[in-house]
Structures are given as C-alpha cells and as structure tokens.
Amino acid sequence: MKVPGPKEEDEEGASSQESGYNSYSSLEEDAGSPDEDGGARHLRLLRENRRLLDEKLCKICADREVGVVFVPCGHFACCVVCAPSFAHCPVCRTDIQSAVRTFLS
C-alpha cells in the first residue's frame, strides 16, 4: 500500500501524489499500450475483472465468497459453509488449528 508523502513534481510538472502513480511509465502500463484500441483495452479489463472475481469465490463450492482463513497456514480459500467440513487445509493439507471468520471490505 502506498503511503502518501509530500507532494512531488517531476521535471514535466506531473504530481505523483495526485494520481497515485510515481512515474509516467506505471501509468501507461495500467492504461494499456498507446496503440491498443478501446476494444482490446476493454477486453483486457474484462478479463482482469473476471480473474479478480474468481479469486474471491470459494474454491470448494464456487458459489459463495471466501470468508475463512485457516490457522496456521493462512490460506483464504473457503466460504463459511464449506470451511467447517475440513480438518486439513484444502490447499496445503496442513492440520487446521483454528478457522478465523474474515470479512473483505
């Protein structure tokens, strides 16, 4: 997580604090290549959005959002309905000592 610091301007007068980027190159990378058309950029963003949504789904039932962290391994892969049925982490097979209900904000 980037911690805001004093407002800095580069030689072209762009402020890194205002945009959240500390260089033009990182801004350009997020925006896509200059020759990338709107349709290709839109498709790339849709794929990234789909990937992020899939990461939030329970890896067991794929119906509900993940909501339990297993201790001691720390894997965050199950929903609150599926988690109680495991004695071992479904990702790494470590014995589960406890399960912590977790909320994404």
Q: Residue 99 carries which side chain, given as an amino acid letter?
A: A
- Provide the pLDDT for residue 34: 53
pLDDT single digits (tens) 40-63: 899 999 999 999 888 899 999 999
Structure tokens of 76?
């965050």
> Which of the following CATH numbers is that of domain 57-105: 3.90.180.10, 3.30.40.10, 3.40.640.10, 3.40.50.1360?
3.30.40.10
Q: Which regions of the chain are under pLDDT 70?
A: 1-36
Cβ neighbors of 7 (< 8 A, separation 6 or more) are 15, 16, 17, 18
Q: Give residue limits of the domains in the chain.
A: 16-55, 57-105
* pTM, entire model: 0.56
